[in-house]
Chains A and B, each alone.
Chain A
Amino acid sequence: MPKGELETLLKKVRHAEPIPGFEDTWRQAETLQSPKRNTSLLPRRVLIPVAAAAILALLLVVGIQVALQSNGNDQILTVQNGIGDPSQSLARLTDMEPWTGKLDGLGTEWTFGFTTGENTENDAVDTSVMVASTSLPGDDMYESQTDFLLDLEIPTSIRAEERNRL
């Protein structure tokens, strides 16, 4: 079939095609407009900054929480440093006398004790840090230390710090 004949046929089809009027189609399109846009309580130019501020505030709160938590760890470290010079070797730390310090956030005064133990990298740290409560009457500091050690998980942090120092 020649191109011209095909073109004529298709033009005929095009002209025979009933086409919906422009006005009606445009008007129907207008009715499809999202009602949210006009009836929204907060226009987009307000909503976006508010949402951004809310996200920032959330991030700030999370950041503060993390900072506080890390500060708490720092306090543990500070207390630990109070034992002696942080640059002291582990051998020196393990030789120190039991001492008393307060950990913020726990609401109780805890006594930390360091036993003299074998100064090996694996054993000394694990066995040297102990926790006991002075507020429990009749408790012997050294007898109850293991339970508290397990309950509080504070020594875990200290052990971690100690390991880092090593």
Chain B
Amino acid sequence: MTLIKFNKLTTYFFLFLISFTGLTAEEIKIEREQSIKSTTIIRNRLGWVERVKIFPEDIDIEAKLTPGSEGNALHATDIKEFTSNGENWIRFETQDKFDKKIKLERKIISKRKYITSKGKKEKRYIIEMEFCIANKYIKNNFSLSDRSMFEYPARLGRDVLAGLFIIDPGSTKTTKPNCKKRS
């Protein structure tokens, strides 16, 4: 009996000792790296500015990722309406990442009237664009406006980002668009 009691005591003693021994600093570092990896497996981690490829024209632009706004926006000047096969289309100019002017043609999804804070009436066209960011192929609506006073020609809102990406406000341009077309 005494032997068993002694054994129990020793185990408790060992337990007591073990409770004080945590992980070494090196092990903690590895654990943390693994946990960061596990979150990035669920959702890609992107910077607040990322490279985006527009299809089918294969144009590279840089876009700001803004979870604070809902929708997407694209820089457009020189907007002209035209009809093609009975559908309303527009032709407009935007800028790629080398500030080169690019002409794009898209079908109009809808038109929205905005009243700016200065009381001016403004028309905004909504178009649909297919693009690639990181390894995701996305088709989503963009509202067109003159963004020449802003640094980046495009802005992606939370409708696109939600569920796919986590944004790191401390880094930019961490990925390159890498999608199979129309995957």
A and B pair up: no
The residues of A with any CB-CB pair to B shorter than 8 Å are: none
The residues of B with any CB-CB pair to A shorter than 8 Å are: none
